[in-house]
Structure 1
Amino acid sequence: MMDKARLRQHYIEWRQHLSDRQWQDHSQRICQHLLNHPQFQQATTVLTYVPHRREPDLRSLWLLPKQWGLPRVVGQDLQWHCFDGKAEALQQGRYGIWQPPPEAPPIDPACVDLCLVPAVACDRQGYRLGYGAGFFDRLFAHPAWQHVCRWGIVFEVAVLEELPRDPWDQPLQAICTESGILEIS
């Protein structure tokens, strides 16, 4: 089994080689699977992300009448803020990722119905490979966030049987790809 660093490099490079058309097509198919799922349909507060380094693009969903939240990197943590879907309200933060300004209203984790988590790769047991900084693992290990339902968003090619795991890795409840939604039992 490859180590996390080599897997990360492999799948990030794979995403970079997608044509614009392939990236948009795969992303739209992911969005359609989300739109068709009852749990997503019923969710009123959904946390998401701004695509970075060719992550699946969920921005078309921002037009839906939901309370959307985006993360801000603050030190070693993610803080979630309300987002109205207007890209011009965002500012570039650490790592070049677009995020809400610090004065945007915060989101109470008790109100969150679903968190759509970007991933470099996932495995069929619900573990994800991110960029290696541990932001999402620290978030979901915090007692206030443990109840939040979290779905990994990743391209199908990056869903593996098993990923290398560390004791602090936090599992997902489902994985959504362009091929469908895999619910983890």
Structure 2
Amino acid sequence: MDAVNHQLNKAQLRRTLLKKRQSMSVREWREKSDRICFHLQNSTLFNQAKTILAYFSFRQEPDLSPLFTNTKYRWGFPRCVNQSLSWHIWQTDDSVQRGTYGITEPHPDAPTLDPTEVDLILTPSVACDYQGYRLGYGGGYYDRLLSSPQWLTKPTIGIVFDFAYLPQLPIEPWDKPLKNILTETGLTAQD
């Protein structure tokens, strides 16, 4: 019974937070997203990176797109392929398409990225907690990615708005905490 309640709590929490995120005005969303971009640009992790995995904002996730025009970095974006994420190099003028779940993805022909080339992973999340655990969308794509040996040691930053940065989330044994969390208030490193 506990496992069922646990899943219900996660689903309920996910619904509540997504509703709250989508009820933000465009102006508030833009302002908070811009503050997140500002803090990210001023972080050592970001400035030391060369190849960064990011995401295209979906359902009012924090929008990092103002950063994508910075050609100092090589940007990688995910495509959902079967049950996993495939990472592709993308530049501002490259084409995109709607993929699984209606999320914007690079074109399938875009060059793929090898994990060894990646310096930083910016992780979209519904919520994160003070221990670095994230609540995703329920598909398990990032859980599988972050658990695989070639990605385990990569620096990660969970990107959420302040209201979705919570003291504690319900977690599963396979959940891997992120190493940093970034909100419009600033960057927090996890111990």
**TM-score, normalised relative to structure 2:** 0.94
User: Are positions 1:128 and 2:134 aligned together?
Assistant: yes
- Tell me the equivalent position of 1:18: 24
The CA deviation at 1:19 is: 0.4
CA contact (8 A) 1:68 1:85 kept: no
User: Are positions 1:89 and 2:95 aligned together?
Assistant: yes
User: Are positions 1:140 and 2:146 aligned together?
Assistant: yes
Q: For 1:102 and 1:71, how far apart are their aligned partners in 2?
A: 10
Q: Which runs of 4+ in 1 moved over 6 A?
A: none
Q: For 2:87 and 2:57, how far apart are their aligned partners in 1?
A: 16
Match of 2:58 among 52, 57, 77: 52
- Tell me the equivalent position of 2:3: none
Q: For 1:94 and 1:104, how far apart are their aligned partners in 2?
A: 17
Post-superposition Cα deviations, 1:49-81, rounded to whole Å, max 9, x if no partner, equal 000010000000001120000000000000000
Post-superposition Cα deviations, 1:148-182, rounded to whole Å, max 9, x if no partner, equal 11110000011111100001112100000000001
Q: For 2:92 and 2:158, how far apart are their aligned partners in 1?
A: 21
Once the two structures are aligned, what percentage of the paired residues are identical?
Answer: 48
SS of match in other structure, 2:63: coil
- Tell me the equivalent position of 2:68: 62
What value does the CA root-mean-square deviation take over the aligned residues?
Answer: 1.1
Structure 1 unaligned segments of length 5 or more: list them: none
SS of match in other structure, 2:150: helix
Post-superposition Cα deviations, 1:3-35, rounded to whole Å, max 9, x if no partner, equal 110110011000111000000000000000001
Post-superposition Cα deviations, 1:107-156, rounded to whole Å, max 9, x if no partner, equal 11111110000111000000000101100000111111112111100000
